[in-house]
């Protein structure tokens, strides 16, 4: 593995400058991914699609974003992180703007998939860089500030998307929101990296079974390729019949490809499970070797297992709530798009920023008392917020909805900073971005990619209110799973400190 080429220690002022710059990049990340949810209603009427199809616009993003995060995490441990970050921002911003040119559902579907692939580079690289800026003290608070971009971007998408769509249409909104990120990428490309990786003279010998060739790569993803071919053939057959609903066509295609994806992941899981008992030494021989090492590390670290499972459920609950909240306000409370965006946009903005900061601050303060402090902080927001979320979704009064929306977003955003900090607490820094990429992959594949279309499916059959009432229970279950790591996190942190280089 090559030397990273960092610049060494940087000033405290520069550390905070980098934090603000990376946090703003995360805001753009979630603004560009979430604006599509604010445009659901005009897209629904313009392109004549169902709620299930709208849900799949979010799901396809989550699937390709998750798959891309695996590779992006490894590349962030092998290449200059600022280059990975800047390239991703420029690419996803451009493709967000291009989404405004879509004239059919499938064109928009494709553009959102490309945005998902290009956005996958940001979170692993940016958080690994941030973890080196804050190696110990203040890490959860820094991650909380960074993750405030999730709610800032998500809620700003609700407000700004509604305003721009009202003035310029949903296509104009995508164009105007996407373009500024292309310019911002130039600033990110100039960030200093505080850590120079120590080069390893002798890499681990390549093992034949992990050799990367075109043949091996095709075999690794063969189930997914076959499922795509079958899904395309079935779609072509369905197109020959008149009167087949568009939702059937979409669900069939995505269902078949979903089986292929699950089969592919299962094949890789078998390889990883065989590797769990191995204790690798030296540097990984190639990108596949490092990816397998990271996956095996997760399975050998109990805290990471609980963080992955609990993180998938809490992420699904929070992101689905944000995704469908604007449609909920319009349908259940009778507000138009522009007024709905203004009504909940600023409330969610304030609540999200405050909640992310409080959650990170709470995690660091509790960490001073107990090794499990950050775990407790990450779970407590959902434990307290789930009952309030039920009340939020049952109310018919706009004023009550506004107050409850502030409280729920405030509590549901506590988890972001502490969870990210825990992940970096229990893994060696040399594979930190790779493990973060694996985490992002898992929470989106097992969380958002499932939850978004399921809520849409339930909404088509039972109404949006009934569908969204499943979200508090999902978040509560996730919080309980996170708490299982209270008994393991101290031991896992101690092991990393014993073996990891300073």
Mean pLDDT to the nearest integer, 45-55: 78
What stretches of 276-336 show up as alpha helix (H) in DSSP? 287-300, 302-332
Alpha carbon 404 to its chain centroid, in Å, reads 25
Sequence spans of domains, the chain: 12-199+285-499, 211-284
Most confident option among 48-57, 112-121, 327-336, 465-474: 465-474
From 171-180, 295-304, 466-475, the region with the lowest mean pLDDT: 295-304
Rounded distance between C-alpha atoms, residue 102 and residue 110, angstroms = 9
Q: What are the residues whose beta carbons fall under 8 Å from the beta carbon of 390, sequence distance 6 or more?
A: 469, 472
198-242 tens-digit pLDDT: 444 444 444 444 444 545 556 666 776 777 778 777 766 766 666
Most confident option among 92-106, 152-166, 258-272: 92-106
Alpha carbon 385 to its chain centroid, in Å, reads 21
Give the pLDDT of residue 296: 61
- Number of neighbouring beta carbons within 10 Å of residue 206: 14
Q: Is the pLDDT of residue 169 over 60?
A: yes
Using CB atoms within 10 A of its CB, is residue 331 exposed (0-12), middle (13-18) or buried (19+)? middle
Tokens of 382: 């959902």
What is 12-199+285-499's CATH superfamily? Answer: MFS general substrate transporter like domains (1.20.1250.20)
Using pLDDT thresholds of 50, 70 and 90, give the confidence band for residue 387. Answer: very high
Mean pLDDT to the nearest integer, 144-168: 78
258-292 tens-digit pLDDT: 677 666 665 655 554 454 445 444 444 444 555 55
Give the pLDDT of residue 349: 77
Rounded distance between C-alpha atoms, residue 387 and residue 382, angstroms = 9
Q: Which long-range contacts (CB under 8 A, 24 or more apart) does 391-400 make?
A: 393/328, 393/465, 393/468, 393/469, 393/471, 393/472, 394/465, 394/469, 396/332, 396/333, 398/333, 398/335, 398/343
458-484 tens-digit pLDDT: 887 788 888 888 899 999 999 999 998
Using CB atoms within 10 A of its CB, is residue 247 exposed (0-12), middle (13-18) or buried (19+)? middle
Give the pLDDT of residue 388: 94
Nearest to residue 111, comparing CAs of 48, 204, 175, 207? 175
Q: What is the mean pLDDT of the chain?
A: 76
């Amino acid at each position: 593995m090559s030397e990273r080429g960092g610049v060494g220690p940087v000033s405290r002022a520069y550390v905070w400058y980098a934090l603000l710059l990376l946090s703003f990049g995360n805001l753009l990340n979630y603004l560009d991914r979430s604006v599509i949810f604010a445009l659901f209603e005009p897209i629904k009427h313009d392109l004549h699609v169902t709620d299930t199809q709208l849900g799949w616009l979010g799901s396809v993003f989550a699937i390709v974003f998750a798959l891309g995060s695996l590779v992006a995490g490894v590349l962030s441990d092998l290449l200059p992180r600022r280059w990975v970050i800047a390239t991703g921002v420029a690419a996803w911003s451009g493709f967000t703007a291009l989404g405004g040119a879509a004239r059919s559902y499938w064109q928009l579907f494709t553009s959102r998939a490309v945005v998902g692939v290009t956005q996958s580079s940001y979170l692993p690289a940016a958080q690994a860089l941030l973890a080196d800026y804050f190696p110990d003290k203040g890490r959860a608070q820094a991650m909380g500030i960074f993750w405030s971009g999730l709610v800032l971007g998500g809620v700003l998408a609700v407000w700004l998307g509604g305003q721009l769509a009202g003035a310029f249409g949903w296509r104009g909104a995508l164009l105007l929101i996407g373009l500024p990120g292309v310019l911002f990428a130039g600033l990110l490309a100039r960030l200093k990296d505080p850590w120079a990786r120590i080069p390893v003279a002798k890499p681990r010998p390549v093992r034949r079974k992990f050799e990367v060739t075109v043949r091996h790569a095709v075999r690794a993803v063969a189930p997914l390729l076959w499922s795509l071919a079958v899904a395309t053939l079935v779609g072509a057959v369905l197109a020959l019949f008149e009167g087949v609903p568009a939702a059937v066509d979409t669900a069939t295609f995505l269902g078949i490809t979903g089986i292929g994806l699950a089969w592919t992941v299962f094949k890789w899981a078998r390889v990883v499970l065989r590797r769990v008992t191995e204790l690798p030494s030296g540097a990984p021989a190639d990108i596949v070797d490092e990816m397998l090492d990271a996956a095996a590390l997760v399975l050998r670290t109990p805290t990471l297992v609980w963080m992955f499972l609990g993180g998938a459920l809490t992420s699904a609950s929070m992101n689905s709530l944000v995704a469908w909240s604007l449609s909920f306000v319009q349908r259940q409370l009778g507000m138009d798009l522009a007024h709905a965006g203004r009504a909940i946009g600023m409330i969610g903005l304030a609540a999200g920023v405050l909640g992310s900061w409080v959650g990170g601050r709470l995690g660091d303060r509790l960490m001073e008392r107990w090794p499990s402090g950050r775990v407790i902080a990450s779970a407590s927001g959902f434990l307290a917020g789930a009952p309030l979320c039920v009340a939020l979704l049952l109310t018919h009064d706009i004023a009550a909805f506004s107050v409850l929306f502030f409280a729920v977003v405030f509590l549901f955003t506590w988890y972001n900073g502490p969870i990210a900090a825990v992940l970096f607490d229990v893994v060696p820094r040399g594979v930190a971005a790779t493990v973060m990429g694996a985490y992002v992959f898992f929470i989106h594949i097992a969380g958002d990619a499932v939850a978004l279309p399921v809520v849409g499916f339930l909404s088509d059959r039972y109404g949006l209110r009934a569908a969204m009432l499943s979200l508090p229970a999902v978040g509560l279950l996730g919080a309980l799973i996170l708490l299982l790591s209270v008994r393991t996190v101290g031991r896992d942190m101690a092991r990393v400190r014993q073996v990891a280089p300073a």
